[in-house]
Amino acid sequence: MARAGLTADRLTQAAADLADEVGFENVTVSALARHFGVKDASLYSHIRNAHDLRVRLAVLALAELADRVAEAIAGRSGKEALVAFANAYRAYAREHPGRYSATQMALDPDAAADSAAGRHAEMTRAILRGYDLWEPEQTDAVRLLHSTFHGYVSLERAGAFHRHPRGVEASWIRALDALDSVLRAWPA
Amino acid sequence: MARAGLTADRLTQAAADLADEVGFENVTVSALARHFGVKDASLYSHIRNAHDLRVRLAVLALAELADRVAEAIAGRSGKEALVAFANAYRAYAREHPGRYSATQMALDPDAAADSAAGRHAEMTRAILRGYDLWEPEQTDAVRLLHSTFHGYVSLERAGAFHRHPRGVEASWIRALDALDSVLRAWPA
DNA sequence: ATCATTTGCCTAGGACCTCTAGGTAAGCCT
DNA sequence: AGGCTTACCTAGAGGTCCTAGGCAAATGAT
């Protein structure tokens, strides 16, 4: 009886790759078991259930995304940091569609605390240091930025923009310009 | 053998209500059949398969949302129209979480053409008539607005904002202020 | 080195969902 | 009344999720 050497981490990694291949909604316990050449039931010693697997995947993706963003904004400030953040975010979503979908899962408070969600908010705040924005407006701005980034890549992936000839790239640059100018002159 | 009087439309309506109750991802053919007191197999004379059912639901929700938005912006212009649009959009998402989730489905080109997606874009354009914005900037602005609305309600629903004390309502108002000011002074 | 424990994967099986094939009864048309 | 279409049925195959209980491999204790 040869062992496949399963661990929760290896399962989560494989699930992430699987998500990018076949879509987050198609990440099933069965598919993952097939990938390792074992029976479904064997996975349940490592993960509690299918939902637990998806939560682990979400936590993994959030951490990866936070790493990418952190690297992108390191040593930059102001608009440069804003653009670097946004592009890192969007690039991750494009390169890892399944992982990105996972980051949109509703996490219960416990899982959210374990996740890198806090790092995301903190890094967004870091960008705002270049814009002379303080509480409570800072939180408003954090929410606006996050909403815009997420909304844009989410709609882009859903194909909402491709029905019009205007380049998606050009609109993205303009959106970042707009955000920069709104941050510089935040309405009182 | 009493008949339940099923039609594709009645199924879609019931599916929409079901989605709001138990979540879009839990809208199954079985659950719907149970609701009508009928066997699963009976639904397959009205819908092609489970995916088809969800697409119909998405199309229904997009149309409803477009109606709500159209009513909201009728007779308004400028910032008033912007705020009315945004609030109608957000209110629909809150009142009908399952239906709203459905609108986020990736629709294949055929289904998208049948949907009210075009009306949404057109209404967003209508708002911009109050802002002296023309192509190609108009498309950029449409995309920015849509992204921000969708991103905001989507993150709000995922609970991404509730980890911070600042009121979600206040941030929303500020986001709309910011969008208004960015539209008035669209960066050249 | 042997035995005990833990760990990893197994089989078996129940519950639920999806969907097809083919059948029968209800309602409409002539 | 007979025929046709429509609405719903039974039966059944195949997939996913998950639990219970078992055996064998790895690990650690003596």
Specify the pLDDT at position B187.
57
Domain range B61-184, CATH class:
mainly alpha
C-alpha–C-alpha distance, residues A6 and B163, integer Å: 35
Query: Residue type at A53?
Result: L
Nearest-Cα distance to chain A for B12, in Å, is 22
- Whether any strand C atom is under 7 angstroms from the Cβ of B71: the reply reads no
CA angle B162, B98, B84 (to 5 degrees): 70
Nearest-Cα distance to chain A for B1, in Å, is 38
**CA–CA distance from B23 to each of A109, B97, B159, B186 (Å)?**
19, 7, 15, 39
Count CB neighbours of A48 within 10 A.
Answer: 11
Q: Are A186 and A141 in contact (CB under 8 A)?
A: yes
Nearest-Cα distance to chain B for A36, in Å, is 27
On chain A, the residues whose CB falls within 8 A of the CB of B51 are none
Nearest-Cα distance to chain B for A181, in Å, is 8
Kindly compute the dihedral angle of the four CA atoms of residues A8, A12, A14, A16, in this order, to the nearest 10 degrees.
Answer: 180
Specify the pLDDT at position B165.
72
**DSSP assignment letter at B140:** H
Specify the pLDDT at position B161.
85
Nearest to A144 among B150, B160, B175 (CB): B175
Specify the pLDDT at position A1.
57
How many A/B residue pairs have CB atoms within 8 Å? 131
Q: Are B126 and B81 in contact (CB under 8 A)?
A: yes
Closest Cα to residue B29, out of B21, B110, B121, B42?
Answer: B42
Burial A57-75 (b: 16+ CB within 10 A, else e): bbbbbbbbbbebbbebbee
**DSSP assignment letter at B49:** S
C-alpha–C-alpha distance, residues A38 and A188, integer Å: 60
CA angle A169, A173, A179 (to 5 degrees): 140
Which string of DSSP letters, residue by residue, matches B98-130? HHHHHHTS---HHHHHHSTHHHHHHHHHHHHGG
Q: Which of residues 26-85 of A touch strand C (CB under 7 A)?
A: 37-42, 45-46
Tokens of B93: 């998402």
Specify the pLDDT at position A162.
80
On chain A, the residues whose CB falls within 8 A of the CB of B102 are none
Residue showing tokens 């108009």: B138
Specify the pLDDT at position A188.
61
Tens of each residue's pLDDT in chain B, 188 residues: 566 778 999 999 999 999 999 999 999 999 999 999 999 999 999 999 999 999 999 999 999 999 999 999 999 999 999 999 999 999 999 999 999 999 988 888 888 888 888 899 899 999 999 898 988 899 999 999 999 999 999 999 888 888 787 789 999 999 999 999 999 988 56
Domain limits, chain A:
8-184
C-alpha–C-alpha distance, residues A17 and A116, integer Å: 19
Tokens of A182: 């709104």
Identify nearest nucleotide to residue B53 by CA to C1′ distance.
C18
Cβ distance of B177 and A187 shorter than 8 Å: yes
C-alpha–C-alpha distance, residues A119 and B55, integer Å: 36
Separation of CA A63 and C1' C12 in angstroms?
39
Specify the pLDDT at position B188.
61
Query: Residue type at A51?
Result: H
On chain B, the residues whose CB falls within 8 A of the CB of A174 are 137, 140, 144, 187
C-alpha–C-alpha distance, residues B70 and B64, integer Å: 10
C-alpha–C-alpha distance, residues A66 and A103, integer Å: 11
Tens of each residue's pLDDT in chain A, 188 residues: 566 778 999 999 999 999 999 999 999 999 999 999 999 999 999 999 999 999 999 999 999 999 999 999 999 999 999 999 999 999 999 999 999 999 998 888 888 888 898 899 899 999 999 898 988 899 999 999 999 999 999 999 888 888 787 789 999 999 999 999 999 988 56
C-alpha–C-alpha distance, residues A103 and B146, integer Å: 20
Q: Which residue is nearest to nucleotide D24 (CA to C1')?
A: A1
Cβ distance of A154 and B150 shorter than 8 Å: yes
Alpha-helix runs per DSSP H in chain B: 8-22, 29-36, 50-73, 78-95, 97-103, 109-114, 117-128, 137-157, 168-184
Q: Is the dihedral angle over the CA atoms B16, A100, B163, A140 positive or is it negative? A: negative
Find how far residue B53's CA is from the centre of its chain.
17
Identify nearest nucleotide to residue B36 by CA to C1′ distance.
D8
The CATH number of the structural domain formed by A8-184 is 1.10.357.10
Which of B62, B125, B147, B155 should one mutate to test binding to chain A, selecting the residue with the greatest count of A CBs within 10 A? B147
